[in-house]
Structure 1
Amino acid sequence: MKYLIKTAGILLLLIKTTFAMAQENYEIIAMISPPNPDMSGIAVSSDNRVFLGFPRHADNHKEFALAELIDGKPVPFPNKDYVYPSTKPYKEWLVSPHGMYMDKNDVLWVLDDGKRSGQKEIPEGAAKVVGIDIHSKKILQTLVIPKPVLSDDSHYNDLRVDLIHGEKGSIYIANSGFGEHYSLVVIDIASGSCRDVLLNHYSTSPELQFMGFLEGKPHVYDFKNQSFPNGGADGIALSPDSKTLYWTSITGRNLYSISTDLLSDFKTSNQQIAEAVKNEGQHPACDGLAEDEKGNIYFGAFEQQSIIQRTANGAYKLLAHDRENFVWPDGLAYRNGYVYVTLGQWNRLPGFNNGKDLRKPPYLVVRIKVSN
């Protein structure tokens, strides 16, 4: 019995030490407070410039929608006219940028979900993907998501840009759904052609019997009585060779993948795409994903208030944990040996808490050193 007690004590000490080491393994690079809004998407350039998106779908704020962090402070990017609310056509300004991605050429791709809190409609031209040259600050591409692909029940959450399929590349978008409309969206950059695939497929939809913990309290998924952020396809990642796309549902625990040879080919039928989906096993329930050049995938595990690494061979590793600050890890980006994370507090919004806003600014942006 003494041996068992001693062994259990050593094990507990090891667990505590592991969590303590992981908890210290991050650096705060920005603390954002009102009147600046709560951020979501994040992207990092080859020379470590950091860009943040500030969506309006949960809070129809009047501040900038896209910014670059300069000396830890958000500065409107590429210019004020493009990122503040405007009366110009929706195609000509950022309405509600969500997911962001930096390609190998340092082009910043911004996914505008087009949705503003309190407004049911997503006007045509509001939902789009924009490519920005971060050096010249020029808008290189504006790819509008048209009807009938566009639905007011769509929530275009995150994206990846594949530069090897198509004349100028292909874009893959995770649509987690404001209503019960879940899918992946594929855009051919050269032509602007766009289509919805895997619509309400099991791999893009919420897991109906999902239950999870948020800040120590259990929550059961109920679309008609929502007590925590939920939806379908959300986190998205691309393999280093751009041959495989991965995605997760925000209300689910299964990682799915598909060949981009099939997904990018508009001649492939919906049935062929559905039949090609692979289940890659379970993962911690999460919001955003990030990936690196070695095929590792990173998860913002909201139940565990942690950042988790999945190696290319399917092993999982704890990178960082903080019960106080990792309330809702949201956007993730990997660059030059670091994982960058926006620490949202979306589960504390009034809509999930009987009308009470439980958010506690400042909102943090952190980075975590990865040992590969």
Structure 2
Amino acid sequence: MMKYLIRTSFLLLNLFTASRLIAQQQQPEIIASITPPAPDMSGIAVTSDNRVFLGFPRHADNHQSFALAELVDGKPIPFPAASYVYPSSKAYKDWLVSPHGLYMDKNDVLWILDDGKRDGIKEIPEGAAKVVALDSRTKKIIHTLVIPKPVLSDDAHYNDLRVDLSHGKQGTVYIANSGFGERYSLLIIDVATRKTREVLLNHYSTSPEPGFMGFLEGKPLIYDFKAQTFPSGGIDGLALSPDSKTLYWTAITGRRMYSLPTATLSNPAVSEKQLSDSVKYEGEHPACDGLTEDEKGNIYFGAFEQQSLVQRTTDGKYHLLAHDKDNFVWPDGLAYRNGYLYVTLGQWNRLPSYNGGKDLRKPPYLVERIKVNTN
């Protein structure tokens, strides 16, 4: 009888704990519901006064619509002007070809990573791949940093970026190249001099993890570069510590997080071997696409296997923020601002290229946010 009571009490305690955890999860709020002919979105960035910007890349769908927009009353409005975000016959450096990663700095300058890639076109023309710094208040373009040849590669996929304003006269940009081909690396741009370097090329920390197997919507899938069945590649998500002293990164095809001191990474005098030897393994993480960070140093993940949003606190512990098997199909771009975590849900694993030519996406494409505890 006593054993039965103990077991029953233990079961009730577990159920009570589980119910508390579920109750503690905040309910995500849908802030935009985007339907065709509007395109599918990826990157997201938020200003200090909660204005939301979205990027609409053309690497998976060479659409003829806007490539960058601000959410106004839940609707995407071309930003900063239609002439800059729609396809154009102007020089490639003078319009947004395929913006992917977005980053909002402390001055509300929107940094846009244009990977320059369009579906069905192998070449990335010089001028198409670039970083644009745009004042979100005045709409003025502050910098256009073209990724030059020979650093520029048609096999590159410039996916995410962070801007470190503490190194270099005008800052340093770090770019994740997750690779359309088997080329994976970090790019570093000195904003003042515009000098661009490619480092950690096909390094173990920037490459897909060999033998990776993941679950997507309940299906076990094995990574195969020659027969891809889900979005895959190398270094993808980036996060920058609040003091700008550490850059973190993850590979989209992997579960290991790495870091480097920005003092080392931004210094062109540091050799490739020194960089390689300085890479720090930060432990495992949920398989994810993008990352974001808050002012306390917590890092956030869109866990595509678990269809969840997850927080890693500064003590290295992980916390479930929200789970939604219906809407969190492929959490993609993440942004944190003023106590909220924002996420774009583009359903990229349902693209025709991963599903025998069938487009399995089910619009609308959602943008959601959730209140988070940063302590």
When the two structures are superposed, what TM-score results if normalisation uses the length of structure 1? 0.98
Correspondence for 1:240: 242
> Displacement, 1:7?
2.7
* Structural mapping, 1:5-24, within 5 Å: 7-8=10-11, 10-12=13-15, 14-15=17-18, 18-19=21-22, 21-22=24-25, 24=26
Match of 2:353 among 351, 354, 365: 351
Aligned length: 371
The aligned amino acid for 1:343 is L
SS of alignment partner, residue 351 of structure 1:
helix
Correspondence for 2:7: 4
Distance of 2:259 and 2:43 partners within structure 1 = 22
SS of alignment partner, residue 273 of structure 2:
helix
Correspondence for 2:41: 39
> Displacement, 1:14?
3.6
SS of alignment partner, residue 149 of structure 1:
coil
Correspondence for 1:337: 339
SS of alignment partner, residue 271 of structure 1:
helix
Correspondence for 1:204: 206
Correspondence for 1:176: 178
User: Is 1:185 paired with 2:183?
Assistant: no
The aligned amino acid for 2:205 is S
User: Is 1:56 paired with 2:58?
Assistant: yes
Correspondence for 1:98: 100
Correspondence for 1:166: 168
Correspondence for 1:301: 303
Distance of 1:136 and 1:170 partners within structure 2 = 23
SS of alignment partner, residue 137 of structure 2:
coil
Distance of 1:154 and 1:249 partners within structure 2 = 14
Correspondence for 1:287: 289
SS of alignment partner, residue 15 of structure 1:
helix
Contact 1:40 1:54 in 2 (8 A): yes
Contact 1:25 1:319 in 2 (8 A): no
> Displacement, 1:266?
1.1
> Displacement, 1:104?
0.6
Distance of 2:15 and 2:38 partners within structure 1 = 42
> Displacement, 1:325?
0.3
- 1:258-285 per-residue CA deviation (whole Å, 9 max, x = no partner) reads 0100110111111111111000000000
Contact 1:29 1:72 in 2 (8 A): yes
User: Is 1:146 paired with 2:148?
Assistant: yes
When the two structures are superposed, what TM-score results if normalisation uses the length of structure 2? 0.97
SS of alignment partner, residue 88 of structure 1:
coil
Gaps of 5+ in 1: none
The aligned amino acid for 1:302 is F
> Displacement, 1:20?
6.0
Distance of 2:155 and 2:78 partners within structure 1 = 29
- 1:172-210 per-residue CA deviation (whole Å, 9 max, x = no partner) reads 001100000000000000010001000000000000111
The aligned amino acid for 1:299 is F
The aligned amino acid for 2:10 is T
- 1:52-101 per-residue CA deviation (whole Å, 9 max, x = no partner) reads 00000000000000000000000000000000000111000000000000
Contact 1:100 1:159 in 2 (8 A): yes
- 1:216-261 per-residue CA deviation (whole Å, 9 max, x = no partner) reads 1101111111111000000000000000000000000001000100
Match of 1:130 among 105, 129, 132: 132
The aligned amino acid for 1:310 is R
RMSD between superposed Cα atoms in Å: 1.2
Distance of 1:8 and 1:44 partners within structure 2 = 43
SS of alignment partner, residue 7 of structure 1:
helix
Gaps of 5+ in 2: none
Distance of 1:33 and 1:87 partners within structure 2 = 27
Distance of 1:148 and 1:18 partners within structure 2 = 51
Distance of 1:27 and 1:140 partners within structure 2 = 33
Distance of 2:62 and 2:261 partners within structure 1 = 37
The aligned amino acid for 1:45 is T
SS of alignment partner, residue 59 of structure 1:
coil
SS of alignment partner, residue 245 of structure 1:
strand
SS of alignment partner, residue 262 of structure 1:
helix
The aligned amino acid for 2:94 is E
> Displacement, 1:17?
5.3
Correspondence for 1:365: 367
Distance of 1:6 and 1:228 partners within structure 2 = 44
Query: Identity, % of aligned pairs?
Result: 71
SS of alignment partner, residue 82 of structure 1:
helix
- 1:292-348 per-residue CA deviation (whole Å, 9 max, x = no partner) reads 111100000000100100001101111111010000000001111111110120000
Distance of 1:329 and 1:181 partners within structure 2 = 24
User: Is 1:311 paired with 2:300?
Assistant: no
Correspondence for 1:263: 265
SS of alignment partner, residue 141 of structure 1:
strand
The aligned amino acid for 1:33 is T
> Mean alpha-carbon deviation: is it higher for 83-92 or for 266-275?
266-275
Distance of 2:348 and 2:13 partners within structure 1 = 37
SS of alignment partner, residue 86 of structure 1:
coil
- 1:90-132 per-residue CA deviation (whole Å, 9 max, x = no partner) reads 0000000000000011100000000000011101100000000
